[in-house]
Structure 1
Amino acid sequence: MVTLNGPLATHLENEVTTLCHCWRLRRSDGTVMGFTDHDRKLTCDGTVFAPETGLSTTEARRSLGMAADSVDVEGALSAIDIEEADIMAGVYDGATVETLLVNWQDPQQFARLRRAVIGQIARRDGRFVAELESPERALDQTNGRTVRRTCDAELGDGRCRVDLEAGGFKGEGVLEAIAGNSITVNGLASFENGWFGNGIVTWTSGAGIGRRERVSAHRKGADGVVLDLWRDIAAPVAPGDTFTVVAGCDKRFSTCRDKFANSANFRGFPHLPGDDAAYGYVMEGQRFDGGPLVE
């Protein structure tokens, strides 16, 4: 429940009001952007709110208890403000949005209505629709570790401890051609098929420098080495751009042991019985000596 007092509360008691909504968006990289449904630029609470996006919002509600509420905001994709390539690259994933109620005649009169996190973003016909999820949405997320057979660490992080700069786990190349979500590259011919499957490509030159893409498959084609990406390339890249790529891990114990020689740091539970363990029965040739199921 938002409690209004002071000059803004007095203004709301008038028969005629001069109110608008402002949205302050703070990305995970620290960038702050301001938007408003007013027709002029406003400066409020240290942020400049621009009207050029034509941002609008759906009906908002606030439920009692711990229910997770959501509201949608819609605006135009603009090279000045929000670019489609940035949305596809995940720049706005997890960004926070504050909604302000502002007296546009006196922007010092304002109230914070809600704080939300950007969830799903849809793009269509030159516009975007972003779902703003209330903080209670975090209660629906899995926190802590999950007991499962596969590893829950990220390759190369502090829990995995694999040194990606050594052991041939990292490659460098040059982009030659793009076909949908597949790229033909030069510089990776010495690596075996599948070595970079589930790995990460990081662009090191060109307009997309610093952007990252997930690799779904790595293969050698008729025209050279091909990397199939998890989705269409979001970064504005072109033939001739350079990149680095790290080896991929499918989170299985056998991969951790054989590919990375890192079984001591495996962060899964490979001995965990499967869902079908209760339905299993003894078969000739099976081993029942009490030893480990995974070696």
Structure 2
Amino acid sequence: MSFFERDLTTIAFCWRLERRDGVAIGFTTHDRDLDIEGLRYRAAPGMLPSAISLSDGFEASALDVTGALTSAAISEADLAAGRWDGAAVRLFLVDWEDPSAPLPLVRGELGNVSMQGEGFEAELRGPAALLDRAVVEQTSPTCRAELGDKRCRVDMAGRTRVTRVIAVPEEAVVEVASASPETNAYGFGRLRWLSGPNSGLEAAIVASDGPRLMLREAPVHPPNLGDLVETAEGCDKLFATCTGRFANGENFRGEPHLPGMDLLTRYPGAS
């Protein structure tokens, strides 16, 4: 890079964060905003990572960021709600006189974010983190696919619907205007908030009774009546459910009849 060879350098540090819901923001240590690759990087000296530790090993890189809450784009409430968990991160240097050729430094995604004083601290999961994944799947009596994915192949078009919240009888219970009449149709399913204070967040559904949905955890923010939500049916991943409810036994990704350590406890009267 030619801007490294000058007597008076014009180097600025930039970083881009993109949330899983598509929201992207950029920051730079320069004293004015920079437009790079279609995104405006806001001048935010307080957003400088205080420590970036890299190594030639396979452990996850550490990213320590201070002063993050000085930006209105990253609020404490959003961090606490997990909106930035898993966000894609790119860190690079740029010539602020001609920012058309950035020099990449680090890329990856943020792990779980924790509050640290006036900023946040997160693990940066780089490409080496992929090596932590299992090479082959382990056998299991339950299905290893997710309902509706490319291995399961159940059509979710008729099992996903957009509706509204009509009641909140308990902190972790909501009632919606329309739902599948099938018994416990949304058990192990998903609820995604499309409007209101929880917009963009997801919640796991433990069980359902008609339009009454029991969530695993209470919403981060108290929902409002009329909030728009998307509900998706769930599956308990048992072979009997796969064949009986979905008629999808040929795509079952488990080994329900393979003997295992619990073989003796599968029979009545076993002790």
Q: What TM-score bracket applies, with the shorter chain setting the length?
A: 0.7 to 0.9
Relative to 1, partners in 2 of residues 1:244 and 1:30: Cα closer, same or farther, differing over 3 Å?
A: closer
Out of 2, 6, 16, the position equivalent to 1:6 is: 2
The residue that corresponds to 1:218 in the other structure is 208
Confirm or deny: 8 A CA contact 1:68 1:133 kept in the other structure.
yes
Out of 225, 231, 235, the position equivalent to 1:239 is: 225
Q: How many residues align?
A: 268
Which amino acid is the alignment partner of residue 180 of structure 1?
E
Does residue 157 of the first structure (1) align with residue 149 of the second (2)? yes
Does residue 183 of the first structure (1) align with residue 178 of the second (2)? no
3-state secondary structure, aligned to 1:137: helix
**How far apart, CA to CA, are the structure 2 residues paired with 1:57 and 1:6?**
25
Cα shift at 1:96: 2.5
TM-score, normalised on structure 2?
0.75
3-state secondary structure, aligned to 1:215: strand
Cα shift at 1:214: 2.0
Confirm or deny: 8 A CA contact 1:20 1:104 kept in the other structure.
yes
Confirm or deny: 8 A CA contact 1:161 1:265 kept in the other structure.
yes
The residue that corresponds to 1:115 in the other structure is 107
**How far apart, CA to CA, are the structure 1 residues paired with 2:234 and 2:259?**
26
**Equivalent residues in 2 for 1:45-124 (5 A)?**
47-52=39-44, 54-77=46-69, 80-83=72-75, 87=79, 91-102=83-94, 111-123=103-115
Does residue 35 of the first structure (1) align with residue 27 of the second (2)? yes
Confirm or deny: 8 A CA contact 1:53 1:78 kept in the other structure.
no
3-state secondary structure, aligned to 1:213: strand
**How far apart, CA to CA, are the structure 1 residues paired with 2:234 and 2:100?**
52
Root mean square deviation of aligned Cα: 3.9
The residue that corresponds to 1:21 in the other structure is 13
Out of 229, 236, 252, the position equivalent to 1:250 is: 236
Cα shift at 1:251: 1.0
TM-score, normalised on structure 1?
0.70
The worse-fitting range, judged by mean Cα deviation, of 266-275 and 23-32 is: 23-32
Cα shift at 1:215: 0.8
3-state secondary structure, aligned to 1:158: coil
**How far apart, CA to CA, are the structure 2 residues paired with 1:170 and 1:23?**
36
Relative to 1, partners in 2 of residues 1:214 and 1:89: Cα closer, same or farther, differing over 3 Å?
A: farther
**Which structure: larger Rg?**
1
Deviations along 1:145-169, whole A, 9 cap, x unmatched? 4422211222123322323445xx5
The worse-fitting range, judged by mean Cα deviation, of 153-162 and 100-109 is: 100-109
**How far apart, CA to CA, are the structure 2 residues paired with 1:185 and 1:6?**
60
Confirm or deny: 8 A CA contact 2:142 2:238 kept in the other structure.
yes
Does residue 228 of the first structure (1) align with residue 214 of the second (2)? yes
**How far apart, CA to CA, are the structure 2 residues paired with 1:29 and 1:241?**
18
Confirm or deny: 8 A CA contact 2:44 2:71 kept in the other structure.
no
Taking every aligned residue pair, what percent have the same amino acid on both sides?
Answer: 37
Unaligned runs of 5+ in 2: none
The worse-fitting range, judged by mean Cα deviation, of 135-144 and 99-108 is: 99-108
The worse-fitting range, judged by mean Cα deviation, of 232-241 and 266-275 is: 232-241
3-state secondary structure, aligned to 2:104: strand
